[in-house]
């Protein structure tokens, strides 16, 4: 029961179907996804079947993983955008992080089975799940892999810390500008930014609704709209058709970093 059939798979994914995000996927670096996809495993041989559990595709707005649920599977985003969300008793929501292709939903899930927050698809999302037990075993056999996981964990924590600073000490304009720039940097690192069109103008996929921005920045959707309008009026950015263009990168960075 170790060699052949991978059945729990919801939608079959051909081994050759590597997503754009895979290029920068931590787990691709770790040879896990690639191994699970049937590619060569590098020096360390890992049996894919013992680790990969399933691959899923969910439509936008669907829940990927519920808060408080117990899972013995660890999900990794392969395609699309998602968000970790907490809902307060009064109905207001806070997005803790946006998940892009290549992201582990939460590194904490490697060591505990209970998710602390809801994970929600923003676009259509494809993700794979891996068996925690198999993943952990592999980790302990490979200090190199482990070291890379630690880096991912540290990065997750750094993003959280930056987020705290943004929410605690920055104005609405700064928060929104920084959110956009952070996302664009993360996309760029994954090789997911469209080719630069004209000099210095940055263009990116931007599937977020304004209420997502509001939930992430601790603002109201109304105010987000006003700030974005102001950005547009000042020729800093342009949004149309789920694509965001930074027309004046220098000026936009000034808004974002400023203070």
Partner DNA sequence: CGGCGACTTGAAACGTGTCAATTAGCGTGG
Partner DNA sequence: CCACGCTAATTGACACGTTTCAAGTCGCCG
Residues forming the site for a copy of itself (CB under 8 A): 86, 88-90, 92-94, 96, 108, 110-112, 116-117, 140, 143, 147, 150-151, 153-154, 156-158, 160-161, 163-165, 167-169, 217-218, 259
Compute the least distance from the CB of residue 247 to DNA, in Å.
15
Q: Return the one option of DNA, a copy of itself, none that residue 200 interacts with (CB less than 5 to 8 A, by type).
A: none
The token pair at 113 is 């089975």
Compute the least distance from the CB of residue 251 to DNA, in Å.
18
The token pair at 95 is 């997005």
Q: Return the one option of a copy of itself, DNA, none that residue 94 interacts with (CB less than 5 to 8 A, by type).
A: a copy of itself
Torsion angle, alpha carbons of 167, 171, 177, 179, to 10: 10
Q: Return the one option of DNA, a copy of itself, none that residue 88 interacts with (CB less than 5 to 8 A, by type).
A: a copy of itself
Comparison of 151 and 243: residue with beta carbon closer to a copy of itself: 151
Comparison of 9 and 172: residue with beta carbon closer to a copy of itself: 172
The token pair at 225 is 């709209």
Q: Return the one option of a copy of itself, DNA, none that residue 225 interacts with (CB less than 5 to 8 A, by type).
A: DNA
C-beta pairs of 7-16 under 8 Å, 24+ apart in sequence: 8/53, 8/54, 9/54, 9/55, 10/54, 10/55, 10/56, 10/57, 11/55, 11/56, 11/57, 12/55, 13/37, 13/55, 13/126, 15/39
CA separation for the pair 125, 140 (Å, rounded): 30
What angle separates helix 210-217 from helix 221-233, to the nearest 10 degrees? 110
CA separation for the pair 105, 119 (Å, rounded): 8
SS3 for 37?
coil
Comparison of 66 and 209: residue with beta carbon closer to DNA: 209
The one segment of 14-22, 95-103, 208-216, 249-257 that binds DNA by CB under 7 A = 208-216
Residues of this chain, 218-257, that bind DNA according to CB under 7 A: 218-223, 225-226, 228-229
Compute the least distance from the CB of residue 157 to a copy of itself, in Å.
6
The answer to whether 42 and 31 are in contact (CB under 8 A) is yes
Q: Which residues contact 182 (CB under 8 A, 6 or more apart)?
A: 159, 162
Compute the least distance from the CB of residue 236 to DNA, in Å.
14
Closest CA to 193 of 19, 20, 76, 77: 20
Compute the least distance from the CB of residue 120 to DNA, in Å.
12
Comparison of 33 and 228: residue with beta carbon closer to DNA: 228
Q: Which of 31, 53, 138, 210 binds DNA (CB under 7 A)?
A: 210
Binding site for DNA (CB under 7 A): 171-173, 209-211, 218-223, 225-226, 228-229
């Amino acid at each position: 029961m170790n060699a052949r059939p991978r059945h729990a798979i919801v939608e079959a994914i051909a081994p050759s179907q590597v997503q754009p995000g895979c290029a920068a996927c931590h787990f691709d670096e770790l040879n896990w996804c690639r191994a699970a996809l049937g590619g060569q495993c590098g020096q360390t041989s890992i049996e894919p079947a013992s680790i990969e559990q399933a691959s899923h595709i969910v439509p936008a707005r669907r829940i990927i993983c519920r808060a408080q649920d117990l899972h013995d599977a660890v999900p990794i985003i392969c395609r699309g955008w998602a968000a970790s969300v907490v809902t307060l008793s009064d109905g207001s929501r806070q997005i803790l992080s946006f998940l892009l292709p290549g992201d582990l939903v939460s590194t904490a899930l490697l060591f505990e089975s209970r998710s602390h927050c809801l994970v929600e698809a923003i676009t259509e999302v494809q993700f794979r799940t891996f068996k925690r037990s198999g993943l952990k075993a592999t980790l302990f056999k490979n200090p190199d892999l482990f070291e890379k996981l630690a880096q991912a964990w540290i990065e997750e924590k750094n993003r959280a810390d930056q987020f705290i600073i943004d929410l605690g000490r920055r104005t609405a304009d700064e928060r929104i500008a920084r959110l956009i720039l952070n996302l664009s940097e993360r996309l760029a690192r994954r090789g997911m930014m469209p080719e630069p069109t004209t000099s210095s103008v940055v263009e990116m996929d931007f599937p977020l609704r304004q209420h997502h921005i509001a939930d992430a920045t601790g603002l109201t959707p109304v105010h987000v709209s006003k700030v974005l309008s102001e950005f547009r009026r000042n020729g800093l950015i342009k949004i149309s058709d789920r694509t965001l263009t930074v027309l004046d990168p220098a000026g936009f960075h000034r808004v974002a970093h400023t203070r």
